[in-house]
Chain A
Amino acid sequence: MIEQLIQKANDEVLEIIHNAQPVLIGIGKALDVIPDMTKKTILHAGPPIKWENMSGPLRGAVVGALIYEGLANTNEEAEKLASSGEISYAPCHHHSSVGPMAGVVSASMPVWMLQNKSYGNYAYCTLNEGLGKVLRYGANSSEVIDRLKWMEKVLAPVLKEALELCGTIDLKVMIAQAIQMGDEGHNRNKAGTSLLIRELAPYIVKTSYSSEDKEAVLKFMHSNDHFFLNLSMPACKCTLDAAANIKYSTIVTVQSRNGTEFGIRVSGLGDKWFTAPANFVKGLYFPGYTEEDANPDIGDSVITETAGIGGFAMAGAPAIVQFVGGTPKDAVNYTTSMYEVTHSESKSYVIPFLNFRGTPTGIDIRKVIETGILPIINTGVAHKNAGVGQVGAGLVYPPQKCYEDALETFVKEMEKEGVI
């Protein structure tokens, strides 16, 4: 009986995922558009966490955000405020949002607005600042703050108007194309970024802003291969959010890390987080850096794997091995191994090399425990100290404990209900 109940629920979850229609509808100010956002709210990546437990990059990002908001003038003031209890910290996930790396979102930040047209739910994400010393890696110097201000005052308004002229952008189609062009939507976004610029450029040109501003905006996007990440992530978020809270389902709807802990959520277990200490990434380090310098795994970007792209689509992005190590055959094998822990295959995101097979979609906690195969994640590595930036890239797995705890809770719930 129980097996059939679970099967039916999981089928339903996958149906919802397949039917998703993530669409970019505009840009707004966080305070205005993100549900329950306040002037003193700071959203962050990963499961809930207190200031005292935050790792270097996250702390640095919080400090930077407080200064950016004008709530503090110096780092010391910001740290005092951060630990004072006056600031409300909350996971992006609790507010229909996602954020890469530290994932800090504060009131004045401009955010992409997406809607899952099939189910009506929304998702939000900040615009990607670029590489190097940026807020999401915990940098908070005046350079960082200035850039954030420019994004607020120039980048966002230009893109907002361009979007108004353009209308909505179908992100499902764009991601599907990017996947077939050697992207995987998490660690490799070159194609997606190119497709986005291609789509928006004519409308940027038509906006009412100065030539300098338009040029700056285009150059900014062009200079950042990961610009599209901040769209692929919320696209996955609004896809999965619609599939949450399906009773009896063992499919994972959220995977996420805050730099200290890794957390997952399961559709049939509602809002419960299952957390454990985050792992360290195994991969290739930039010259001058080693594993000693790494921060534990951080960011909401693993929402991409959770939705069936990212590391799960590695077979279509063999160039990724130049950054994470291994051979192209390894990339294929990683994707192939994920079919053993997922419920189904994507109907939209297919990999030409695998005879156009859909990517493995819908992580089933039972299969993860039974096979001992943990979901693979392709990710960047942050320096453990705030503000240094990315020090490498590689592969990482969620802690087994998250999945074991989720399974144990699931069985207890089923026993409580009397279906076992």
Chain B
Amino acid sequence: MSKVNELFNQDLKVINMGLKSFADELKEQGVSVIHTDWRPPAGGNTKMINLLNKLKSKTK
């Protein structure tokens, strides 16, 4: 709970991922924002995604 209230007392520093317009509009308002040029992992290649997942730890 306290982290939410921390947020209320901080300057917003945003990471945007997806629609670029959201980041652009925040920039317009002078908000600190970094836009992530997201792509589907492994270009959507399911074979590679499965291989990568095998090398990841099981979700904690």
Contact = CB atoms under 8 A, between A and B. Distances in A.
- Are A and B close enough to touch in the complex, i.e. CB under 8 Å? yes
Interface of A: 1-4, 6, 250, 366, 369-372, 404, 407-408, 410-411, 414-415, 420
B55 A369 contact: no
B5 interface: no
Contacts of A410: 55
B54 interface: yes
B52 A407 contact: yes
A408 B45 CA distance: 13
A366 B52 contact: yes
Interface of B: 39, 41-43, 45, 47-48, 51-52, 54-57
A372 B39 contact: yes
A268 B43 CA distance: 25
Contact of B55 (A3, A371, A372, A404): A3
Tell me what chain B mostly uses at the interface: helix, strand, loop, or mixed: helix
B57 A411 contact: no
Nearest to A250: B55
12 contacts: A250-B55, A369-B48, A369-B51, A370-B42, A370-B52, A371-B41, A372-B39, A372-B42, A408-B47, A411-B51, A411-B54, A411-B55
A218 B42 CA distance: 51
Contacts of B51: 369, 407-408, 411
B52 A1 contact: no
Nearest to B40: A372
Given A370-B41, A372-B39, A372-B42, A6 B52 contact: no
